[in-house]
Amino acid sequence: MTRLHLATILDALFRGVQVTRRKRYSMRIHPLDLAIVIAYLLGVTALGMRFRRGQQSATDYFLGGRTAPWWALAFSIVATETSTLTIIGTPAIAYGGNLTFLQLVFGYLIGRVLIVLLLLPGYFRGEFFTAYALIEKRFGERMRAVAASTFLITRAIAEGVRVSAIALVISVVLGTSEKLAVVIVIALTVLYTFEGGMKAVIWTDVAQLLVYLTGSAVTFFVLLHRIPGGWTEVSQVAAGAGHKLQFLDFSWDLDTKYTFWSGLIGGAFLTMATHGTDQIIVQRLLAAKSERDSRRALLASGVIVLVQFTVFLLIGVLLYVFAQHSPLLAPGERTDRILPLFLVREMPVGLAGLLLASIVAVAMSNASGSLNSLAASSVLDFAKLRGHSADPARFLRLSRGMTLFWGLVLMGFGLVKWGPLLEAGLTVASLPFGSLLGLFLLGTLDRGANARGALAGMIVGLAAILCIFRFTSVAFTWFFMIGSIVTFVVGSIASRISPPQKHAVSGPGA
């Protein structure tokens, strides 16, 4: 499409905006936009519920029968790590700062390669349903329970931060209370996750990803069109306002969140932890038809993530420049509100509804993945450990019951008030997941490690991170690396001091 044609289309769209803008400042959202949001949410829920057919066992419910193609899994991985928290939080980071967050994404790519080399082969040496079955095979049932408990607690809290992001968007859109927004969205999410299982999660993820990437591109070009002077104005204002277009910082200051070194090193450890030990991502890797498909899905997801974070950050810069001409935030208002406010106040009627719906739907998709993974770990890592390996039908009912339980838990955490959304979510995840990564690396790289040493390493690793978090100003981007190294070193030393402990290993997939 030529620039002239694009400008003509945008001009036609914005003629409608000028007519309705005064009205839209007095009401939260145009009725047509509201109808689109509601229809989209109901449509996504209906799509997810269709996948209930054919479910006969836990494999069908938690791994989608291992029938999804690698590209769908790649889309699902990206949609899972890209929540509403990311979509509204990333532009807010660039709006209030610059593009240096992108350095963390460079580390994401390195981390994926390391997972393929170090961790992924182990997952396909057995018929595993959860990441923590690998820990049982190496260190026994007790360490599997410890690892699974770490995941359950951390994922529930971190997902609560993301649910808060859902409430933030809904409250801006509908003018309703955040509590009611949490209840409505989580209820719909629980409904289609309960019914459709992992297959519903994967294919709704695919749909959401395509919609929100399209919406993000549209938002970028609309913003650029609305700024007088276009990209020339953006480059001039952004360059003179705290170096908004800066994306590299080679300093070694450990207090600075986003530097080249903390991004490359810390980001690699972060991704190894979140994508190599967190059940919500590992479950997608295990749902692949083969290790080769799993590898392709993980690496392809990294390319998509790099592109989308670049777009999100540039949208934040454009919002900053736009706000110099047409202020959006009131003094002291949270920067996380900047993108939802722009969509509600400035986007053409109809298009705004689609973009807002895609943001909320991504949040639903992300929450559904967490619900399914939390239920999988609860049932497979604990129910079977207690000997409750019931018949497939009964096990399937138990799995659905755990989905409902975790839906209520996430709803409760979503009502808690958190700080800046994106960084709050990353900080929560960084505290225990570094030690969890250290546990996996210990089991993979140190053949002399035993269960007692592994437990000691995890305890000391977690204590070290909590102390650094509480008593220093070291940026959270280093927490994953520090936690994993301390866990690995202490676990390795302790294993050689304490005698090995025998453990009984359950059957494949337990």
pTM over 0.95: no
CATH number of the domain that residue 373 is part of: 1.20.1730.10
**At residue 144, what is the residue type?**
R
Mean model confidence pLDDT for the chain: 78
Polymer length of the chain: 510
Per-residue confidence (pLDDT) for residue 134, from 0 to 100: 84
Domain that holds residue 156: 3-429
The number of angstroms, rounded, from the C-alpha of 285 to the middle of its chain's C-alpha atoms is: 15
| 33 within a domain of the structure (yes/no) | yes
Query: How many separate domains does the chain show?
Result: 1
Structural domain contains residue 157: yes
Residue with the bigger pLDDT between 334 and 26: it is 334
Query: Which carries the bigger pLDDT value, residue 47 or residue 10?
Result: 47
116 found inside a domain: yes
The answer to whether 450 and 498 are in contact (CB under 8 A) is yes
Cα–Cα distances in angstroms (integers) from residue 119 to residues 135, 275, 449, in the given order: 12, 10, 16
The per-residue pLDDT for range 401-440, each reduced to its tens digit, is 888 888 888 888 777 665 554 455 556 656 788 888 999 9
Q: Is residue 343 part of a domain?
A: yes
Q: What percent of the chain has pLDDT over 70?
A: 79
The 10s digit of each residue's pLDDT in 342-384 is 877 777 777 777 777 777 777 777 778 788 888 888 888 876 5
Q: Distance between CA 115 and CA 442 in Å, rounded?
A: 14
- For residue 437, being part of any structural domain is answered with no
Provide, rounded to the nearest whole percent, the portion of the chain with pLDDT above 90.
15
Does residue 304 lie within any of the structural domains? yes
Q: What are the φ/ψ torsions at residue 101 (nearest 5 degrees)?
A: -60, -25
Beta carbons within 8 Å of 203's beta carbon, 6+ residues apart: 47, 51, 68, 72
Rounded to whole angstroms, the Cα distance separating 177 from 400 reads 29
- Write the pLDDT tens digit of every residue in 292-307: 999 999 999 999 999 9
Task: Quote the crossing angle between the two packed helices 351-378 and 178-226, to the nearest 10°.
Answer: 130
Could you tell me if residue 418 is inside a domain? Answer: yes
Residue 317 belongs to some domain of the structure: yes
